[in-house]
Amino acid sequence: MMTAFHAPFCSKALLLPPLLLSLTLLACSATAQRTAPPRERISINTGWKFYRYNAATTPDTLIYDVRPEIKENQDTRPADARPTEAVSITASQNVLKPWILPTGNNFIKDPAKRYQRPTNSPGNNFPFVQPDFNDNNWETVNLPHDWAIKGPFYEGWQTPVGGGMGRLPVQGVAWYRKAINIPKSDAGRNIFLDIDGAMSYAMVWLNGQLVGGWPYGYASWRVDLTPYIIPGGNNQLAIRLDNPANSSRWYPGAGIYRNVWLVKTNPVHVGQWGTTITTNNVSKDAATIGLQVIVDNNAHTNQPIELLTLIYAANEDGQQTGKPVAKFNTWKGAIPPNASDTVTTTTSLPHPKLWGPPPTQSPNRYVAVTTVSAMGKIIDRYETPFGIRDLRFDPEKGIFINGERIEIKGVNQHHDLGALGAAFNERAAERQLRLLREMGCNAIRMSHNPPAPELLALTDKLGFLVIDEVFDCWELKKTPHDFHLIFPDWHEQDLRAMIRRDRNHPSIFLWSFGNEVGEQYTGEKGAALAKELYSITKEEDTTRPATIAMNYAKPDMPMPGVTDVISLNYQGEGIRNGGAYTGLKGISTPPLFPAFHSKFPDKLILSTENASALSSRGTYLFPVYSGNSAPVRDSMGGNSKIEQVSAYELYSVDFGASADKVFATMDQHPFVAGGFVWTGWDYLGEPTPYYLARSSYSGIIDLAGFKKNRFYLYQSHWRPEFPMAHILPHWNWPDRLGQPTPVHVFTSGDEAELFLNGRSLGRKKKAPYEYRLRWDEVKYAPGELKVVTYKNGKLWAQDSVSTTGTAAQIKLSADRTSLLTNGKDLSFITVQVTDKNGLTVPDAHNLLQFSIEGPGEIVATDNGDAANLVSFTSHTREAFNGLCLVIVRAKSGQPGAIKLKAAAAGLQPAMVNLTGK
């Protein structure tokens, strides 16, 4: 049994003696059950008032806790630097932590360790939390909202936020206010506020009373509003956020950046994330489905109920269809007052449609619909989407899904959406995933935090495999104000909350409870903490393995022995080892796949981070490195003056490697189940090696969503059955006439012949562990480069690049021209600067101006240039190597024709027509 939070609230029960109070609460509950749906989940994303303290204003003193003083600049600290000890500090002022900690009590296993809330309510006299406070001068915003993304960017050194966190104004204290109407018919119901993500140290007041909060900015969490609700009118919500600078190694975003919901239930209801579905004995003929349901009774009396769960097939959007395909046995019993009970049952489903990753399998899904009934009436209805799949880990052969070996062809993804910032948008997230799928990617590692719930719904829908990860650090710190400050108080709650929220997603195949944590360095002490987190993970879910991503721990150290899966960051191909990496300062490691496999022969091995290769789309620097992998330097693949890295795709961070080197290492160790590239897309922050820039260089796809050459290198290797060929570089080199200009070809074929202006430059065949074909001595002459590729001696694919004319016109192409007017749907419009023949001019940097007509708005612009510090909200932007991006949204509730126009001096303008529906 678990103790529930609160008894239900009823307005007319305020001043009654205990016996009459109990009877009145039951009467209110019965009235609510007659007049309201059994469960409501209402989006309250629109119409919030927002205020952020500016630099000249001293924030209020309603702080969660004190933080240590920062004495050093952390911005350019190497990503693999050793984490350091926490700084001890004692609070010298009143803090609100004692009132916030009880919010997580339901996720603390030991009742003796749960927190008791103090009796008073701090902040109740503060103006911002009062219902009668006049917030008309505050900004009106809709959620999800990232207050920092509009900028402006901070430029130069010694700024409040440096390149590591994206040079955007994420820091500071801000408030959100919204009045929610609670009708009298809701008297007697339980009312909860569900926040999918708020960055960070969130604290919630309702009608002037402090309700609770949650400090970890990536967590999804709930507060119970029931005791503070006044039915029959407006109830004032006020949410305070406090986002520290120096709290992250990447752009964290700022604000209430995920969805927010009002959930209304009867006092007896399925608990928060209260269902767990497991699948066993899976075959094409049948599957055993296990179900666990937690039912909360927040009333003062025993509640006899009937629990029934039916299983339906789901459509592509995850919605139930048709008639039930299976049912669980009906459970009847009584739930004790102010408590919870757990119901466990199983059923068999004949001929299940299995969930599995494309292209060889299909991501079929089901929905379990649980109803709770009392006295013949349904008092709660709860839906649980899930999938049926058999998952097997073989330390010699890899991962098997439904009996088929699936090589992990994965990427790491941070949570931002480029020019949209951290504010979650399902359309933008799906665009990212579909481009990765085109490349051949089949897996995503959520680095290094729980994602938006809707992102996991997308990975379920599209059939991606997922590593769900919770922490980037534990007790030792990577930045002065990161998660280590709250880890001792919150690690159990955060870990259990993530797993309970996410464990029914079939796309998740592995839990990760740490990334490159400093405790790798602390021997048995660090391993003991790892064992604690491992135990929590296993208590919440026994159906999936658990791991830690390790960049330092070696086979003979204690930490690797804790986990089910050996997850290695960069250690497989070696760190600062061999060739151009020899002698570099930092972690230095030989290739360790064999050593780990020998030490842990019963554990599967994954490469959870590899490559960390760097490049700037369309930028080529000479000379070109003659080997297959090198660290970026000004003399080798980099130019610190223009802050760009060569797109020949041979260069990496000091501790990384090129894709070519990684491919070779993986292919030579077939027992490795696969790996995850750092990263799929460029992301805001961490702009190694140029920390005056705004965003990373490591993506296979740039921040605007344009494919780098590396996209085709991965596609050639990950989709060997797909006929493709790709030539680099572009062929506009007037200043290199007659000079050697290396030409490289990426192809899924095994042989190719290169032609310059119709003349053959030779036919070449890939050698073992070779992943590109190189013609490094081609002397530049304008005209056409063409490659013809072969596979097994047969014609396979062709590609060509040509010298273009001067920039003459603009071309616009929208990825969708019909937009829903729901305030969320987006069109991503590619802008190309072309010559008179329509060829994209690959070195064009024309200044473009955008305007819009009709019921639409330009949300953001970008060009993929990591060094560009023009605000994303600007309607004026230079093309970067011939391309630019405009993101357009139809105005909410306003259908009609929308026209986006693009113009530039000396170029023929362009227009694209969109329609809001």
Where in the sequence numbering do the catalytic residues fall?
516, 609
**H/E stretch holding 629:** none
Could you tell me which of 444, 418, 537, 484 has the C-alpha nearest to residue 861?
A: 418
Give the pair of three-digit tokens for residue 203.
């604290």
User: Any bridge partners for residue 792, and if so which?
Assistant: none
Please tell me the distance from the alpha carbon of residue 557 to that of residue 368, in angstroms, as a whole number.
44
> Side chain identity at 169, as an amino acid letter?
P
Among all chains, which residue has been given the structure tokens 């960069």?
570
**H/E stretch holding 34:** helix 18-35
CA–chain centroid gap for 895, Å, is: 31
Could you tell me which of 766, 756, 762, 817 has the C-alpha nearest to residue 791?
A: 766
Cβ atoms 629, 637 nearer than 8 A: no
Main-chain dihedrals φ then ψ at residue 26, nearest 5 degrees? -65, -40
Please tell me the distance from the alpha carbon of residue 735 to that of residue 347, in angstroms, as a whole number.
72
Which residues are CB-neighbours of 429 under 8 A, at least 6 positions away? 417, 452, 454, 455, 458
User: Any bridge partners for residue 743, and if so which?
Assistant: 775
Cβ atoms 474, 518 nearer than 8 A: yes
Question: How does DSSP assign 688-704, residue by residue?
Answer: TT-TTSSB-S--SB-TT
Question: How does DSSP assign 825-867, residue by residue?
Answer: -EEEEEEEEE-TTS-B-TT---EEEEEEESSEEEEEEE-S-TT
Half-sphere exposure (CA, 13 Å, Cβ side) for 757?
8
Cβ atoms 642, 665 nearer than 8 A: no
Q: Is the four-CA dihedral 280, 282, 286, 289 of positive or negative sign?
A: positive
Cβ atoms 670, 396 nearer than 8 A: no
Main-chain dihedrals φ then ψ at residue 339, nearest 5 degrees? -155, 180
Please tell me the distance from the alpha carbon of residue 455 to that of residue 501, in angstroms, as a whole number.
13
Please tell me the distance from the alpha carbon of residue 302 to that of residue 297, in angstroms, as a whole number.
8
User: Any bridge partners for residue 371, and if so which?
Assistant: 308, 381
Please tell me the distance from the alpha carbon of residue 197 to that of residue 218, in angstroms, as a whole number.
6
Give the pair of three-digit tokens for residue 85.
């000890």
